[in-house]
Amino acid sequence: MANAEKSPFSLQVDLDDFLPASNEEKEYMVQMRPSSTFFRDGCKRLYKNKVAFISLIVIVFITLACLIIPSFWPYSYEQQLGVQPGKPVDASFLNLAPMEYSRSELARIEAGESVFPHLFGTDAAGRDYFIRIVYGTRISLMVGFFASIIVLVVGLTLGSIAGFMGGKVDLVIMRIVDIIYSLPDMLMVILLAAVLRETIGTSLEGTPLARIGANIISLFVIFALLYWCSMARLIRGQILSLREQEYVLASQATGAGAGWIIKKHLIPNSMSVIIISTALQIPSAIFTESFLSFIGLGVNAPMPSLGSLASDALNGITSYSYRLVIPAIVISLIVLSLNLFGDGLRDAFDPKLNK
Amino acid sequence: MDSKTLMYILKRIVLAVVTIWAVITITFFVMKAVPGDPFASEKAVTPAARAALEAKYGLDKPIFEQYLNYLTGALHFDFGPSLKLRGRDVTAIIFDGMKTSARLGLTALVIATVTGIILGAVAALRRNSIIDKIIMVLTTAFVSMPSFIMGTLLLILFAIHLKVLPANGATEGGLILPVITLSLYPMAYITRLTRSSMLDVLGQDYIRTAKAKGVSERNIIIKHALKNSLIPVITYFGPELAYIVTGSLVVEQIFAVPGVGRYFVSSITGRDYPLIMGTTIVLASLIVVMNLLSDIMYKIVDPRINLE
Q: In this complex, do A184 and B160 lie within 8 Å of one another by their Cβ atoms?
A: no
The residue among B268, B279, B291 with the most chain A CBs within 10 A of its CB, best to mutate, is B268
Find how far residue A140's CA is from the centre of its chain. Answer: 11
The one-character DSSP state at A17 is: G
Please answer yes or no on whether B284 and A297 come within 8 Å at the CB atom.
Answer: no
Q: How far is A291 from chain B (nearest CA, A)?
A: 7
**Which band of pLDDT confidence, cut at 50, 70 and 90, is reported for residue B306?**
low
Share of chain B above pLDDT 70, in %: 93
How far B156 CA lies from chain A's nearest CA (Å)? 7
Interface test with A, best of B25, B32, B143, B148 (most A CBs within 10 A): B148
- For B199, the domain range is 98-270
The reply to whether B245 touches chain A by the CB within 8 Å rule is yes
SS3 A128: strand
Cross-chain residue pair B160–A321, CB shorter than 8 Å: yes
Tell me, which fold does domain A131-321 have in CATH?
A: MetI-like fold (1.10.3720)
B 123-142 near A (Cβ less than 8 A): 140-141
For the ranges A111-125, A206-220, A310-324, A333-347, the one whose mean pLDDT is highest: A333-347
Q: What is the pLDDT of residue B119?
A: 94
Q: Does the residue B87 lie in any domain?
A: no
Q: What is the mean pLDDT of residues A240-265?
A: 84
**pLDDT, averaged across chain A:** 79
When CB atoms are compared, the residue of B31, B250, B284 closest to A187 is B284
Instruction: Say if the Cβ atoms of B283 and A187 lie within 8 Å.
Output: yes
Burial (CB count within 10 angstroms: exposed 0-12, middle 13-18, buried 19+), residue B63: exposed
Chain B residues whose CB is inside 8 A of the A332 CB are 141, 144-146, 149
pTM score of the predicted model? 0.76
Residue B111 belongs to a domain? yes
Look at the alpha carbons of A281, A284, A286, A291 in this order and tell me if their dihedral is positive or negative.
Answer: negative
pLDDT above 90 for B112: yes
pLDDT of residue A57: 92
CB spacing of A317 vs B33 below 8 angstroms: no
Question: How is chain B classified by DSSP, letter by letter?
Answer: --HHHHHHHHHHHHHHHHHHHHHHHHHHHHHHTSSS-TTTTSSS--HHHHHHHHHHTTTTS-HHHHHHHHHHHHHTT---B-SSSTT-BHHHHHHHHHHHHHHHHHHHHHHHHHHHHHHHHHHHHTTTSHHHHHHHHHHHHHHTS-HHHHHHHHIIIIIIIS--S-S-TTSTTTTHHHHHHHHHHHHHHHHHHHHHHHHHHHTSHHHHHHHHHT--HHHIIIIIIIHHHTHHHHHHHHHHHHHHHHHHHHHHHHHT--SHHHHHHHHHHTT-HHHHHHHHHHHHHHHHHHHHHHHHHHHHH-TT----
Q: How far is CA B217 from CA B125, B168, B223, in A?
A: 11, 46, 10
pLDDT tens-digit series, residues B180-215: 999 999 999 999 999 988 888 888 888 889 889 988
Does the pLDDT value for residue B308 go beyond 50?
Answer: no
Closest-approach residue (CA) in chain A for B243: A186
Inter-chain CB proximity A287 and B146 less than 8 Å: yes
Mean pLDDT of A276-305: 81
Within 13 Å and on the Cβ side, how many CA atoms surround A326? Answer: 24
Distance CA(A353)–CA(A276), nearest Å, equals: 11
Residue B276 forms part of a structural domain: no
Residue B19 pLDDT exceeds 70: yes
- pLDDT tens digit string along A33-82? 777 777 787 788 888 888 888 999 999 999 998 888 888 777 777 777 76
Range of lowest pLDDT (A40-54, A192-206, A310-324, B174-188): A192-206
If you measure CA to CA, which chain A residue comes closest to B279? A187
Rounded mean pLDDT of chain B?
83
> Which residue on chain B is closest to A327 by alpha carbon?
B149
Mutant choice from B13, B136, B152, B285 vs A, greatest count of A C-beta within 10 A: B152
8 Å CB contact of B148 and A294: yes
What would the mean pLDDT of A134-162 be, rounded to a whole number?
A: 89
Residues of B in contact with A328 (CB under 8 A): 145, 149, 152-153
What local confidence, expressed as pLDDT, does residue B111 receive?
94
From A187, A317, A340, residue closest to B280, measured CB to CB: A187
Q: Looking at CA atoms only, how far is residue B108 from chain A in angstroms?
A: 19
Query: How far apart are alpha carbons A92 and A267 in whole angstroms?
Result: 60
Candidate from A192, A296, A318 with C-beta closest to B269: A296
Q: What is the mean pLDDT of residues A179-198?
A: 77
Q: Which residues of A touch B288 (CB under 8 A)?
A: 182, 184
pLDDT band at A355 (very low <50, low <70, confident <90, very high): very low
- Residue B269 at interface with chain A, using a CB cutoff of 8 Å: yes
Lowest mean pLDDT among A66-75, A94-103, B60-69, B92-101: A94-103
In a domain, B83, yes or no: no
Comparing alpha-carbon positions, the chain A residue that sits nearest to B167 is A318
Contact (Cβ atoms closer than 8 angstroms) between residue B183 and residue B108: yes
Q: Do A328 and B287 touch (CB under 8 A)?
A: no
Q: Please tell me the distance in Å from A105's CA to the nearest CA on chain B.
A: 31
CB contact under 8 A, A340 and B140: yes
Of B140, B217, B227, residue with least CA distance to B184: B140
Contacts of A172 in chain B (CB under 8 A): none
Using a CB-CB distance cutoff of 8 angstroms, which residues of chain B are in contact with residue A183? 19, 22-23, 26, 284
CA distance B143 to chain A (A): 8
CATH code of residue B168:
1.10.3720.10
Closest-CA distance of chain B to residue A192, Å? 7
Q: How confident is the model at residue B78 (pLDDT cuts 50, 70, 90)?
A: confident
Q: Is residue B307 part of a domain?
A: no
List residues in chain A touching B: CB distance below 8 A.
Answer: 178-179, 182-184, 186-188, 190-192, 194-195, 198-199, 202, 283, 287, 290-291, 294-297, 307, 310-311, 313-314, 317-318, 321, 324-325, 328, 331-332, 335-336, 339-340
**B245 in any annotated domain:** yes
Q: Confirm whether B91 is domain-assigned.
A: no
pLDDT tens for residues A322-345? Answer: 888 888 888 888 988 888 888 888
Residue of A270, A268, A274 lying closest to A342 (CA atoms): A274
What's the structural domain count of chain B?
Answer: 1
Contacts with B148 from chain A: Cβ below 8 Å = 290-291, 294, 307, 310-311
User: Mean pLDDT throughout A193-205?
Assistant: 70
* pLDDT of residue B131 exceeding 70: yes
B175 min Cα distance to partner chain A (Å):
19
Mutation target vs B (from A187, A308, A318, A324; most B CBs, 10 A cutoff) = A187
- For chain A, the structural domain boundaries read 80-126, 131-321
